[in-house]
């Protein structure tokens, strides 16, 4: 009798797992079928967007390799990249005159705005006084775990912040405490080789946002007080001297639709901190080209993207105000652009 009960239980467990694995298998086949249709279907635009979106993720980039060769993927990414700039290109600081706008006198010191597009939702924080914006960091850089932006804000008693520059990413959250490239915070060089050229985004002592290719030595010589670096492929420059940097071919879109973070500055000095959510039903995400035209819409004369994807997060008054794509919460990062109280 006892053996019959044991057999019945084991039979039930076996049926449960058989149903479970069958369901998972059918679901996997369904997902791969959708991927096949997107990649080999009639829409070249959908193919470009989908493959580029996959390649910009840490965990799902391999999916495209099931259907396409690496050469095909590389060519597609190349066609979808934002235009790069020549070495030595640096934005003109004379185009920004802080407070040179009568309307600016009537606006709030900090304004939080909802952003809504066809495929995305996000937040824009307009900071009237650019002297309040700076680069905050974790206590030290190392191969370990960084901090979410909310905790970096707490360390500096900042009222707001977004995630900052690029960091070492080995497909694991344990490598998010080591920045890639240069980091200057409050006038001190914390990371980077003095004579290596980086893609620098940051503020001068005169509170002008500078974007361009330069060495830390050159940046410090022009009185850059706070800056970070992002690779062109990860966080390209979007606008330099009022001119948008577009993709080479107008039939493609500047990367896939993903969560994005960007920073810009208007001609009157106001700073634009922007995040767009992605990889969610209510917000698929934005391309780099989308971010460019959003920044233009809100008056940016210079703008650049920061690290995106699971890193994308905005904190205001102690709360995460966007919806980061991560079941475990916002990703831990080594740097952020923060706003003093």
DSSP, res 280 = B
**Mean pLDDT score of the chain:** 86
β-pair type (224-229, 271-276):
unpaired
Residues in Cβ contact with 329 at an 8 Å cutoff, skipping those fewer than 6 apart? 148
Residue 251: band (very low, low, confident or very high) from pLDDT cuts 50, 70, 90: very low
- pLDDT at residue 111, as a whole number: 97
For residue 250, the model assigns a pLDDT of: 47
Contacts of 259 (CB under 8 A, 6+ apart): 275, 276, 277, 278, 279, 285, 308, 309, 310, 311, 312, 324, 325
What number is the average pLDDT over the span 127-141? Answer: 97
- Average pLDDT score over residue span 287-300: 95
Instruction: Please give the model's pTM, rounded to 2 decimal places.
Output: 0.85
Please tell me the distance from the alpha carbon of residue 32 to that of residue 314, in angstroms, as a whole number: 33
Q: Which residue has the tokens 């829409």?
A: 43
- In terms of average pLDDT, the best of 42-56, 69-83, 179-193 is 179-193
Question: Is pLDDT larger for residue 75 or for residue 95?
Answer: 95
In this prediction, residue 311 carries a pLDDT of 94
- Between 24 and 305, name the one with better pLDDT: 305
- Top pLDDT among 252 and 6 is at 6
Mean local confidence (pLDDT), 270-286: 95
pLDDT for residue 26 is more than 80: no
Bridge partner residues of 211 (DSSP): 201
Share of the chain above pLDDT 90, in %: 61
Q: Any idea what the Cα angle at residue 237 is, between residues 235 and 238, rounded to 5°? A: 110
Is the pLDDT score of 87 beyond 80? yes
Q: Give the three-state DSSP class for 331.
A: coil
pLDDT value of residue 329 = 78
CA angle 278, 304, 209 (to 5 degrees): 135
Q: Per residue in 102-133, pLDDT tens?
A: 666 777 899 999 999 999 999 999 999 999 99
């Amino acid at each position: 009798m006892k053996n019959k009960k044991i057999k019945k239980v084991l039979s039930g467990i076996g049926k449960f797992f058989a149903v479970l694995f069958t369901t998972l298998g059918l679901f996997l086949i369904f997902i791969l079928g959708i991927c096949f249709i997107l990649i080999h279907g009639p829409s070249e635009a959908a193919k470009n967007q989908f493959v580029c979106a996959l390649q910009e993720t840490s965990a799902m980039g391999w999916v495209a390799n099931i259907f396409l060769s690496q050469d095909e993927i590389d060519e597609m990414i190349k066609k979808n990249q934002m235009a790069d700039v020549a070495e030595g290109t640096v934005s003109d600081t004379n185009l920004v005159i802080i407070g040179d706008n009568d309307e600016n006198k009537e606006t709030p010191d900090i304004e939080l705005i909802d952003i809504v597009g066809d495929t995305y939702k996000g937040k824009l924080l307009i900071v009237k006084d650019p002297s309040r914006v700076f680069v905050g960091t974790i206590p030290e850089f190392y191969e370990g775990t960084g901090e979410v932006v909310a905790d970096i804000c707490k360390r500096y008693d900042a009222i707001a912040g977004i995630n900052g520059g690029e960091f070492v990413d080995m497909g694991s959250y344990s490598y998010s405490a080591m920045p890639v490239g240069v980091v200057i915070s409050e006038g001190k060089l914390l990371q980077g080789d003095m004579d290596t050229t980086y893609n620098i985004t940051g503020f001068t002592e005169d509170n002008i946002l500078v974007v361009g290719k330069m060495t830390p030595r050159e940046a410090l010589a022009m009185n850059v007080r706070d800056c970070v670096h992002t690779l062109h492929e990860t966080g390209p420059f979007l606008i330099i001297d009022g001119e948008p940097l577009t993709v080479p071919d107008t039939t493609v879109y500047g990367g896939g639709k993903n969560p994005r973070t960007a920073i810009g500055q208007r001609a009157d000095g106001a700073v634009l901190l922007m995040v767009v959510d992605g990889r969610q039903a209510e917000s698929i995400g934005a391309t780099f080209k989308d971010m460019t035209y959003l920044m233009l819409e809100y008056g940016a004369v210079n703008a650049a993207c920061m690290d995106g994807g699971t890193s994308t997060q905005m904190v205001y008054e102690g709360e995460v105000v966007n919806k980061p794509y991560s079941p475990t919460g916002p990703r831990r990062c080594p740097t952020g652009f923060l706003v003093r109280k």
